[in-house]
Structure 1
Amino acid sequence: MSSRFALCPATAADLPFARDLTRSSMLRYYICNDLLWLDEAFDVAWAGRENLLICQDHQVLGFVSLSRDLRALYIRELHMLEAWRGQGAGAWTLAQVLLMAAREHLGLLRLTVFKGNPAQRLYERQGLRVVGEDECFWRMERSSFVGPGEACRLS
């Protein structure tokens, strides 16, 4: 994985970027699944999460939004600008989040993904497996245990 990427803390000033990127990336899934997108709901969720920008040098490529409970680190949002999809930044981000979960002694990394979202293939390549489903989502997870050889590959 490339070290050319970095995770930088997001601020309140980054909220419009994150909201707009999420809406533009996910609106078609909301429409197909007869769900209602609400900017206000995104804003409330943003305020209660750890939000990190995915950067290269001084350029923002996307963001990841995280929450935790006693057992797991949850990826609530992971979105890349279209020009950066397929360039390795998403896989790098997943690896970094997995290392965060391991360092925090949280046993699982979890996320949900819309059924039909091609990002599911990326998650599967990173070791996440489908463990359940809702009407329009797959629930995915993997153990955050990082073995000796895997730690070298992920960092």
Structure 2
Amino acid sequence: MSFEWRAAEVSDIEYARQLTCDNMLPYYLRHDLLWQDEAFDLAWVIRQNWIIQRDGQALGFVSLSRDARALYIRELQIDKAFRRQGAGTWAIGQVWDLVELERRPALRLTVFNDNPARALYERMKLRVVGEDECFLRMQRDVDA
């Protein structure tokens, strides 16, 4: 099974917003946070977004931002029907390739502390570098 990604288009925002809401709403509710479509839409337009596909079918997306310290995975969402098939591992590998290509010092992300995706991130060599009430900050350094 081979995956690919393509640059997201303006028309992909509805797909990405709905997938993120479907996947994340239980965490938002459990942690007493408010989901806002408008906040997602504002973030979407300032980030680099990639649609993850297999055989031309969208099965998720990754949303990235950058600064001098790191490349950040802001969202990595995989449709429930396609989980545990390697898409998340593949996507993080693609992002890590960007980290190296762009000579960024690190890859960073934030995850809900009760999200099982944490195990995937740890397998991909990200480590917890901080936490707050409901989130873990994870990082993988290039020189590690």
TM, length-normalised to structure 2:
0.97
- Indicate conservation of the 8 Å contact 1:102/1:145, yes or no: no
SS of 2:71's partner is strand
TM, length-normalised to structure 1:
0.90
Counterpart position of 2:112: 114
Q: Which amino acid aligns with 1:30?
A: Y
Q: Is 1:105 equivalent to 2:103 in the alignment?
A: yes
Alpha-carbon distance in 2 for matches of 1:35, 1:41: 13
Percent of matched pairs sharing the same residue: 56
Shift in Å at residue 110 of structure 1? 0.2
Unaligned stretches of 5+ residues in structure 2: none
Matches within 5 A, 1:59-138: 59-138=57-136
Question: Number of residues paired by the alignment?
Answer: 144
Shift in Å at residue 145 of structure 1? 4.8
Stretch deviating more after TM superposition (137-146 or 112-121): 137-146
SS of 2:62's partner is strand
SS of 2:28's partner is helix
Alpha-carbon distance in 2 for matches of 1:144, 1:61: 28
Counterpart position of 1:14: 12
Unaligned stretches of 5+ residues in structure 1: 147-155
Q: Which amino acid aligns with 1:40?
A: E
Q: How large is the Cα RMSD of the aligned pairs?
A: 1.1
- Indicate conservation of the 8 Å contact 1:75/1:110, yes or no: yes
- Indicate conservation of the 8 Å contact 1:33/1:136, yes or no: yes
Q: Which runs of structure 1 show a deviation greater than 6 angstroms over 4 or more consecutive aligned residues? A: none
Shift in Å at residue 57 of structure 1? 1.8
- Indicate conservation of the 8 Å contact 1:99/1:144, yes or no: no
